[in-house]
Amino acid sequence: MVLLGPTAKSIREMLAVCEVYAASHGLIYNVKKSEFMVFKAAGRCPESFPAISLNGMSVKQVSHFKYLGHILADDLKDDDDVERERRALAVRGNMLARSPRLY
């Protein structure tokens, strides 16, 4: 599940709704598998960010995150994702080059 919000307050409010839903349905979110990322806009990102918690435990802040097979970066650059795709293409190309000819 991914939650997107313009402020820390909005994320906290959405997490509170998720906590209430989970509690009423006998579910528990795994905080160890939960992370948050702050996208850095040019010149508008604070140096520190208020803590985000889930079920009373602090959620880890990350600078890179893999979602649906793509790497998202907090600096909005896609260099890591492009490099991942380049490597995957090279692997597929090498597999084709080394495969026996079927003719």
Listed by start position, the domains of the chain span 8-62
Give the span between the Cα atoms of 64 and 80, in whole angstroms.
Answer: 9
**pLDDT digits 0-9 by tens, 17-28:** 999 999 999 999
Q: pTM to 2 decimals?
A: 0.68
pLDDT band at 51 (very low <50, low <70, confident <90, very high): confident
- Give, for 65, the enclosing helix (H) or strand (E): strand 64-67
- How many Cβ atoms are within 10 Å of 40's Cβ, its own excluded? 14
CB atoms within 10 A of CB 15: 20
